Structure 1
């Protein structure tokens, strides 16, 4: 692994137009390559956001379908790794899909996939009612994968509220960088987005890369934005100047900093087994 490793996170406002979203992603890839980034992380639902609940089922495809093939080609032609969070992967029947985080290498190969575990079934205070489980199959397996940017822990959006997932990625799977593609609602984002991300970074001593959807996708849906990159000490090292803008943020993964934080505060050695508290 090169140290430091230059990475980027994208922010965008996806709509119910696969081609338009791909054009936006292509432009952001060019920006990332120009900035010297070797990995670009996209938000949840990067390729499509339906105007109405359930619209995603209409465009859901297998991982070897034409939509993902275009992103594999984009990675290969641009010589960059892509983290594609929240792809609408066709499920086991026509009534379901998987919310799948896909990691593609710079040769255009799918290196790993993670299917979102935690379903967003929430009545947002002052906002809309969401029932993700009504059309989405929950994943069952944690995923951490070695890469030129360290050991990457793959998650998606609502997973962020379940710290035990991130604890497992760090202490059982040796993750160094946690990827959190998201489309947080405006209400929940204002209240909890940054503090949850910084908490995950601090308690795992990992970098956190949080690429987010931003702004109004349709009359029924709006995302909070505020894409962030956070270091293992919990310091925000990358933030777009405008919470709702489309663009990228660039930062460097410093593996020596990870080692330093972990050696000076060796929480991996101090952790007690769950049975200790019983």
Structure 2
């Protein structure tokens, strides 16, 4: 199964971001991708953290979700919508945006129907004296990992586990995704900061692949955004032995293609049956 990670440098205007994402999805489809994954917040990198609340959509409504459904249907592929802000419940007051939202991955199947939803469980906080980020100021966490099954055009089923960015630092999240059956592919859409990305991005992605003996695909935000923030980029594809299959650069848009091989997964798990040797969950 051919898969694709899309790298973006999103800005503060939603509709422009959706148009760029839509163009890259079409490019991936033309290259033969059957599953395409967008990065975290592909739809907006606002001037302020609170800007995401202004475009937060109720489940099943709004232009962001409509674009994802239409793109999946028109290209006949599995589309993993990186992440977007979804709101739950009532707004803070009539006509006002919600005080907090969920950072959510939505997956649409080749018929355009939504097949999975994952709300980011681990909310990022970072302060090195110069840069400070605190997702909990605008977001509320999810409470469970989510996996779904994608069937390729030859009829093979692939189990796919979902995560978002900071989840990458919590190996127990990915261990939970390996139950009751192991995943074939783990997805990590992200908008990693430059200091944390430089130190840990590739290291952690390869570790998650090795630990779980499956493929990892990580589509990322990349470069200097209009709001002044910089993200690490380097969208990555890793195989079950931890070998890097492909990587994009630190700046701007891009398309990374990789191929899933059931034989490679089986080979790694047969030679070193670590998943069968677990004793602590």
* TM-score, normalisation: structure 1: 0.93
Take 1:97 and 1:116, find their aligned partners in 2: how far apart are those partners?
A: 11
What is the CA RMSD across the aligned residues, in angstroms? Answer: 1.3
Q: Is the 8 A contact 1:51 1:221 kept in 2?
A: no
Task: Summarize deviations over 1:252-277 as a string: whole Å, max 9, x none.
Answer: 00011111101111112211126xxx
Residue 36 of structure 1 corresponds to 32
Work out the number of aligned pairs and report it: 268
Residue 109 of structure 1 corresponds to 113
Task: Summarize deviations over 1:70-123 as a string: whole Å, max 9, x none.
Answer: 221111112221111221111334101000011111111110000000001221
Task: Summarize deviations over 1:197-230 as a string: whole Å, max 9, x none.
Answer: 0000001001000000001223442111000010
Q: Which moved more, 1:204-213 or 1:216-225?
A: 216-225
Residue 147 of structure 1 corresponds to 150
User: 1:247: how far off?
Assistant: 1.3
Alignment of 1:238 with 2:242, yes or no, is no
Structure 1 unaligned spans of 5+: none
| Among candidates 241, 245, 251, match of residue 258 of structure 2 | 251
Residue 91 of structure 1 corresponds to 88
Take 1:12 and 1:127, find their aligned partners in 2: how far apart are those partners?
A: 25
Correspondence list, 1:181-192, <5 A: 181-192=189-200
Runs (4+) off by over 6 Å: none
Q: Is the 8 A contact 1:13 1:246 kept in 2?
A: yes
Structure 2 unaligned spans of 5+: 92-97, 153-157
Take 2:244 and 2:252, find their aligned partners in 1: how far apart are those partners?
A: 18
* TM-score, normalisation: structure 2: 0.92
Q: Is the 8 A contact 1:171 1:268 kept in 2?
A: no
